[in-house]
Chain A
Amino acid sequence: MNNYLTVSITTPQKKRVFEGVSSCTAPGTKGSFQILVDHAPLLSQLEIGEIKLESDKGLERYSTSGGFLEVLKNNVSLLLESCEKAEEIDVERAKSALERARKRMQEKSADLDIRRAEAALLRALNRIRIAGKVR
């Protein structure tokens, strides 16, 4: 009997597979949720937030800017537009993105730009927050 999850994180740049995961936490549209072994089949949209994987090796944190999650027979597939390990986040870049987004929101042009700037702001804040947890 397999008591672990196999988690695969797929982005357009890379595919990573994690074996022996006991718990996977992801940011759903209605809030963060946790997947444990023998979860029912699930298809969910993910928001900007944090992904936590718990295995024997300890807790690993990842930041994401949204995507999808599928659970099927103890296989969790995460389909993400972007995904960075907390330790590898480029904080400087996130900070400058934050600055840029703030500036653009103050300038206040078309609605469209505001929406984009908002999304960029959220992404940057999320990265900085998650990077801060491991440093």
Chain B
Amino acid sequence: MATLREIRRRINSIKSTQQITRAMKMVAAAKLRKAQESILAARPYARKIDEMIRHLIVQLEISGLPLLAVRPPQRVTLVVVTGDRGLCGSFNSNIIKKVLQQIETHRDKEVSLVCIGKKGYDFFRKRGYQIDNKYIQIFNQLEYLHAQQITEYMVEQYIAEKTDLVEVVYNEFKNAVQQFAVVEKYLPLTAEEFEGELKNVSYLYEPDKLSLLNALLPKHLNLQTWRILLESNAAEQGARMTAMENATENASEIIDDLTLHYNKTRQAAITKEISEIVGGAEALKSA
């Protein structure tokens, strides 16, 4: 049986936890809004670049381009996109689970990892997986530059034939309460991936078409990376918001239970005291 003071202390400690979770929820909600805005802002750019690539790709013999070259996959690189911090429900563990599955399906090949986000990096480093590169603590201040750096690295790896297939595992942002861990092929690119209407215009090209296309493809990849980072960021904030909302609710529940328990214990103590006094008085009277 806990004493009154102990119960009071527990109630206070849970109340302060609740304050923290409530604050975290509100911060996550604000960040989520910002993250969603960035996703929307990136769309016109994506559409335009897809349109240009498609326009060029249909006019060209594309087999010579290194980023479009399909090789039989012997070495596979998995890009693992997790968050830098925990306290966001199953956000990180879903990714890790998915990656482990994916490693299993590529069992007969050589698999290496590129970790974006501290959580995934810590997990796979501790277990001795081969990690080629890592980008941690970028989600605090996400910038387009990060996407460019990551893309540049992946493109170099692919062109140098250090890897034959690049897949990204990340959380797709469905809405504030739903996010799915998905596996997406990143490299090599295929012509079908590009959307956009076809324009039948004869342009002047500067420099020539092939150089243009060669310059456009990395930009397209930059943008893919950027989109993935943004999606994952939005999903993380969404997951954290939901998790923290649940935590706040649970805290309320515990506080209610404890308060009830506290009052009952207090009542019992008072009753006990009264009956002791009454009993004592009775004893004195009869004596």
Contact with B along A1-14 (1 / 0, CB 8 A): 00000000011111
Contact indicator A12/B204 (Cβ below 8 Å): no
Contact indicator A15/B44 (Cβ below 8 Å): yes
CB distance from B197 to the nearest CB of A (A): 12
Q: Which of A22-42 contact B (CB under 8 A)?
A: 28-30, 40-42
Q: Which of B35-86 contact A (CB under 8 A)?
A: 38, 41-42, 44-45, 48-49, 52, 55-56
Contact indicator B212/A12 (Cβ below 8 Å): no
A-B CB contacts (within 8 Å), total count:
73
Supposing A43-B212, A44-B206, A45-B206 touch, asked if A12 and B48 sit within 8 A by C-beta, the answer is: no
Pick the residue among A68, A77, A79, A82 that contacts B144 (CB under 8 A): A82
Tell me, yes or no, whether B281 is within 8 Å of chain A by CB.
no
Tell me, yes or no, whether A72 is within 8 Å of chain B by CB.
yes
Q: A28–B215 Cα gap in the complex (Å)?
A: 13
What secondary structure prevails in chain B residues at the interface with A?
Answer: helix
Contacts of B55 on A, CB cut-off 8 Å?
43
Contact indicator A15/B45 (Cβ below 8 Å): yes
Supposing A12-B41, A13-B42 touch, asked if A43 and B204 sit within 8 A by C-beta, the answer is: yes
Tell me, yes or no, whether A81 is within 8 Å of chain B by CB.
yes
Supposing A41-B201, A79-B49, A81-B148 touch, asked if A12 and B226 sit within 8 A by C-beta, the answer is: yes
Contact indicator B203/A41 (Cβ below 8 Å): yes
